[in-house]
Amino acid sequence: MKKILVAGPDDPQKCTKNCVDAAALLGLNPFVSLDPAALDQCGAVIFPGGFPDIAPSRWGEAENGSRDVDPELDRQQLEMIEGAIARGLPLMGICRGMQLLNVYFGGSLIQHIRCEDIHRYVENTETVHDSVCTPGLFLHSLYGDRAVINTKHHQAVRRLADGFSAAQTWFSDEITAAEQKAWLDRCGMGPSSPSHPIEGTDDCIIEAIVHRSLPVFGLQWHPENMVLTPTEGAADAEPLFRYFVSLMTA
């Protein structure tokens, strides 16, 4: 099996390390680098989570709730995305990594979500909540209609980048069953586009995205943590990593 590159920094939240440890536990032969030349040595790339936030200037906004931005890290990781796309490599973005993918392809972010009582970072704790998987897309094939997932973020996708579909969503109690169905129907019909954009909100958090023509997807949650410290009642993350590996030989 080809190596899996984890394109992240040595961060204090250990997001890069946790991705490496989880992938190694599953026998996936990971290594870490932010050197574009390393893309020639791998079969797929994981972009991990963690702080800092992405500079909002990347999608044309002033800072309004973003924290500890690091433009140089943004540049390095976006360059890695560009190189990986050029090589046709499968990509998985986790938390910040998913947000990076969305911004790279022209989307935007909510700089600070309102629903902090549910979506939040708690050190050394796996806080979980329910989510709904979009029928017809890859997470629905892995988990069915619903999946309990963990949460460690204060930002989220706002305008979904062109070419992507929303594969998983958290809905607040303010969203009615009819509104949820209408959202899922729309997400299942096709990718976001300039004429028919899909936008997340504080009450409708996009938890996963998938590109319609490239082997690229992102998760707002942290499957690596769920491999290392499984949480009772939460989704089993191993099938997700196996799906990612399958993209290398698809």
* pLDDT 10s digits, 188-229: 988 999 888 999 999 999 999 999 999 999 999 999 999 999
The C-alpha atoms of residue 58 and residue 168 are separated, in whole angstroms, by 25
The C-alpha atoms of residue 207 and residue 204 are separated, in whole angstroms, by 9
**Residue 101 · residue 219 · CB < 8 Å:** no
Q: What's the token pair of residue 233?
A: 């009642």
**Residue 180 · residue 132 · CB < 8 Å:** yes
Q: What is the pLDDT of residues 46-58, one digit of tens each?
A: 999 988 999 999 9
Mode of pairing for the β-strands spanning 109-110 and 156-157 = antiparallel
220: Cβ–Cβ under 8 A, 6 or more apart, which residues?
Answer: 95, 98, 151, 153, 156, 157, 205, 206, 207, 208
The C-alpha atoms of residue 155 and residue 240 are separated, in whole angstroms, by 23
Q: What is the pLDDT of residues 101-129, one digit of tens each?
A: 999 999 999 999 887 666 666 666 678 88
CA nearest 200: which of 94, 122, 98?
A: 98
Q: What is the pLDDT of residues 134-146, one digit of tens each?
A: 999 999 999 999 9
